[in-house]
Amino acid sequence: MAITVNLDVMMAKRKMSLNELSEKVGLTLANLSILKTGKAKAIRFSTLEAICEALDCQPGDLLVND
């Protein structure tokens, strides 16, 4: 079983660009891109919380167990 990050789906639902999310969360575009493409090996809870706040969603909206 793998965990999939649906960051691109939530960003599309909220009509938010990677640049805008980067500014709101305080992460580099490179780090967000790694999350968005599913290449991340880990994520800090503080980062996940900041992304959820910026996108007005829950962690379960972003992380899916395939």
Output the pLDDT for position 7. 94
Express as a percent the part of the chain with pLDDT over 70. 100
Cα→Cα distances 9→16, 21, 55, 61, Å = 10, 13, 11, 9
Closest to 48 in 3D by CA, of 31, 30, 65? 31
Q: Parse the chain into domains and list their residue ranges.
A: 3-65
- Kindly tell me if the per-residue pLDDT of 1 is higher than 80: no
Cα→Cα distances 24→1, 16, 28, 34, 52, Å = 31, 10, 11, 17, 11
* CATH code assigned to 3-65: 1.10.260.40
Output the pLDDT for position 66. 83
36-55: pLDDT as tens digits:
998 999 999 999 999 999 99
